Structure 1
Amino acid sequence: MHLIFLLLCVILPSSMAEINDANALLDLKSTIDPQNSLPWNKDSDPCTWEGVKECIKGRVSKLVVENSYLTGTINGGKLSLLSQLRVLSFKSNNLTGNIPDMSRLFNLKVLYLNLNEFTGPFPNSLSSLHRLKTIVLSNNKLSGKLPSSISEIPRLYMLYLDGNQFTGEIPELNQTSLKFLNLSNNRFSGEIPRTVALLQFNKSSFMNNVDLCGVQIECNLGPAMSIPPLKRHHNHRLSHKTKIILIAGISGGIALILIGLVLGIFFCKRRPGRSGKKNGRVEETGPSALPGEEREKGEPSGGERKGAGFSWEGDKIGKLVFIGEEEMNYDMEDLLKASAETLGRGRIGSTYKAVMESGYIVTVKRLKDATYPRLDEFTRHLLVLGRLKHPNIVPLRAYFQAKEERLLVFDYFPNGSLFSLLHGNRPSGGGKPLHWTSCLKIAEDLATGLLYIHQNFGLVHGNLKSSNVLLGSDFESCLTDYGLHSFRNPESAEEPSTASLFYSAPECRDYRKLPTQQADVYSFGVLLLELMTGRTPFQDLVEEHGTDIPKWVKSVREEETESGEGSSGNETSEEKLRALLSIAMACVAVSPKSRPEMKDVLRMIRDTRAEAHISSNNSSDHSPGRWSDTVQSLPREEHLSI
């Protein structure tokens, strides 16, 4: 009897969850689908229904119902029953009424309700969803003030509220995770807060708000804000005296401006360049690099020098060209005034952290060869790279081209690189292996980003290694330095560093040969081995260990387990590590034709991670490995192809 009761306790909750999700969806359909455009059937599994894009353990986690002629008001109570929703999109329908309370959708990460007829205020319940990253409510009829609590959503990545009737002041959004913002075509007023997060956006994010002012957009003085005319005075003596004062003030001001210009020209001609370089060369502030970033000879360095800036001489310094639809709120003058510190050096060029006077920070990569390739090829390739937009890729924002200077501007990632996280300041690169859950999380992030690069214009990363993986605001892994091999002059005799060499596929170790997508797969496999062992490839892993790589990985992990710092040794852990190791072994095959494509690599990783999610719930394997619990439990990035 007790056994039957226990079985019911295990089985009933799962089956009831499926029934509740099905009933909740059917109740929603009854109120918002009068034309019966959704062929949902209560006798079938809701995970197979149209619009249900993903389920986790029988629960609906991704619901995307777009362009489906939905009308009416959403029943918030029924929607809240879908408690496992990660992604919700009702984009491009005719839904009306207020956006319902969503405070019970604790797992929600992505919300698209744009292009509907919603009215009422911004749903304050969204501010309580701490996993929420994307909010798109554009082109509705929403009104009222934005609650200040919106600034408390810690992982906010995209906020699109354009095309509504919002009023009042813009809250002081200061989330470092915020990368996309559009508040245009509303009725906002007052001054745009000068937070670091908002200063990165230009006027296109705020335009067509009549009473809104700020650094990004000039005040639009309407009739209510027009300057009143000067009052006429009957005392003609006073009027005459006032005129004299005004004339004297204007004359004095003009004289001061002229004196200032003369002095400025005089000092500019006398002042030597801080870098000691002329003809438009950017200064280098020191020989240091971040831990894990190799120098020319492959030797890591830990020091940094700060405080110096970028410095040009000459009048023809070119123009900063922004890539993509959205210009950022800085220009070449801001970069010239920025303080800079060296982050690292490589075969392609040097990398700097540039802190502008506004407090906004960017990463600037100065290319070594400012003459190769030709300007038209250089520009064409950058326009392609600038079109890459993905959560696991560091975005290229702008470029600068002058006679003897080429710069690339990227977003700055304050959390550092994967190399630093794995190895810290150890010059030998000897770190600790990660827990298998972290290995899978990072592997999926990297495979997703790499596949995106491969599928767009047939591009190649060409320099994949742990120091070229940066950690985002949510500690997601993001690829940088992608596609820059085209800027390496083939006539240059400079060889890659030792550390970089062994990430490269055997067929691409001749620096004169261009990398391929198959070579990227090899580098990815080496990176997986680095995650599992905590060892950087300072020797050729395939040549050194050959078919014994699995044995070597196992011995390294067992050594760390004995010291109490490695992975737990239960069955689930061993199974998932074997699966990940088999993927790495397939990637580092000596023959390029024997390696899988990235789409197959990503599929295998996702299959392993999905199985791990189920099996880990039935095991006691909750070892935090080497990372903190916060990083360890990070969710996978959810996004829609919208």
Structure 2
Amino acid sequence: MLVGLFLILLCCSDCLVLVSSLNDEGFVLLTLKQSISLDPDGAFSYWDSSNETPCSWNGVGCLNDIVVSVTIPKRNLYGFLPSSLGALSGLRHLNLRNNRLFGSLPFQLFSAQALQSLVLYGNSFSGFVPNGIGKLKYLQTLDLSQNLFNGSLPASIIQCSRLKTIDVSHNNFTGSLPHGFGTSFSYLEKLDLSFNTFDGSLPSDLGNLSSLQGTFDLSHNLFSGSIPSSLGNLPEKVYIDLSHNNLSGPIPQNGALMNRGPTAFIGNPGLCGSPLKSKCSSGTLSASSPSLLPFLPDDHSPGISGVYAEKTRGLSKSAVIAIVLGDVVGICLIGLLFSYCYSRACYPRTKDKMGHNSDKGKGRNECLCFRKDESESVSQNVEQYDLVPLDAQVGFDLDELLKASAFVIGKSGIGIVYKVVLEDGVTLAVRRLGEGGSQRFKEFQTEVEAIAKLRHSNLVTLRAYYWSVDEKLLIYEFIPNGNLATAIHGKPGTVSFTPLSWSARLKIMEGIAKGIVYLHEFSPKKYVHGDLKPNNILLTQNMEAKISDFGLARLANIAGGTPTLQSSRMASEKPLDPKQPKTVTSEIICSSSSNTGTCYQAPESLKVLKPSQKWDVYSYGMILLEMITGRFPLIQVSSSSEMDLVHWIQLCIEEQKPLSEVIDPHLIQDADKEEEFISILKIAMSCVHGSPERRPTMRHVSDAIERLSSSSSSSRN
């Protein structure tokens, strides 16, 4: 018995040694494991108390054996957050997103004053956010979105002056924003307060958030009052959303608030002015416009009340009778009008033997005057659609897309384009289209799915789309190296750039040609691009050309956008430069007064509404000329005259100017490629011929470029 007791004591002493070998931070983390009642994915299965430190545990990161991060996302954990985590003095990152955690945030958590990121979105936390959050002087990321938090934001949050991201969307927060909210966060890049019940007026100091890069979303709250004009001071590339509040008054037209689509302001019945359809009445105009204020009477003018009294002094008995009789007659006329409309338009409609509508017989009553508009009933059925993947490799959902960091990379008449970086590092390009056209979902769906089937190495891939009444999104693969316009001319505002080599230009020319040939000959609908230009030729890291925006104008039209239509182009009314060759047979559609994009459009587009493949051939020829000359499509030949690139080349040929004066100066170093330069010029000039019938097909052009590229490659080798 004594031997057995000794063995038991020996085992227990070994156990005590093993347990006591775990350091203090390990014991703190074990309280987190104990607070989790359900761990279906085994996130804590390797959290072993026999270790000396928790640094080897799943989800735990250490620096010099000190716990600096606890990251356990998407593991279906069910439980609460223990207050003991605040004892981790070196903790910098706590990420427990997309679990099933509940309860309140323990105020002791904010004793971990080294915290730099607190990410708890996608759980069921509730209650108030403790005022102790102000202790987190190093906090940069605060994401409490998609929980059940309530109460107002603590005033102490403005002490977290290093915050770069504040996302508390989809909660039950109430009250107004803390005083000084806009002036306290000089580093803030993203602010998302959407889908709460914040109220009060928008602080004017929000315009001081000059470091914003991605999102400024205050939508779906109860903010009231006018929109401060100071919001125009926000960076122009920021995605601003003030929709679905109780805001009122005119929308300021300055800075970042200009050129915004209506989706940024819809759902505020009191708002008026551009870009909304509701115009501002004189009573809602800003008092800062003195020219619109009524003149006040001076000392020599009769008082307003006196004038009104004179006009409303007692009415005679006959006048009162006349007014009453007039009202009765008016009511009778209105009644007769409604009765006539009903009798003419609300009747049973049937089909006669020939299949035509008949006014007689039994059938479904259909009141044309008062029936509910068909588009309205359809739009009610098409209220919301989820993200629709068009690619088998799409591994993200709408929630992840909306959570991602977004940066504006382009604006046009067909919406804004964002660079979107998902949490797992996947980068996408997202284009926002118009907010109207909800009754045309089926048409949009058919068109977008047809475009998604176009797969070629020189076409940008459409990966998914999203449709709702208020939002239409097209999600593309992201092409990282900018567009061809920037590669040729450099980025606006920068002095120096790395010019394209001749071999890179040939590679790009060949890629564009192959992409257009695919659209013209191998796509199911024999697509015509119709708007080919350097801005929508994107470049990969390996300088492969990727054509974008094909089919975009039609999609924007269906979605309710306002794309620039081909038929809206106008020829320049300026007289031709006297130096231009007399043999020119085409009309000039490119001038300083026209849209730059029209410089790439074929002359016949002024007269013919429907694009043809020969339009794309002309546009491709213009791109070749721009690439080989390094010049813009519109050339300033003197202080008072300008000439488009096609006519300038023709003039150079007539005047027999040396090739060195025609090609891009950056290509002078490739003087041994003179024959190739001339070959490309010949191909380009055949593409921009004034007569569409005399232009080659893209198949012939592509074959010629491919032969030239192969010959050039073999000569280099």
TM-score range, shorter chain: 0.3 to 0.5
TM-score (norm 1): 0.47
Structure number, greater radius of gyration = 2
TM-score (norm 2): 0.42
Q: Which has the higher contact order (CA 8 A, sep 6+)?
A: 1
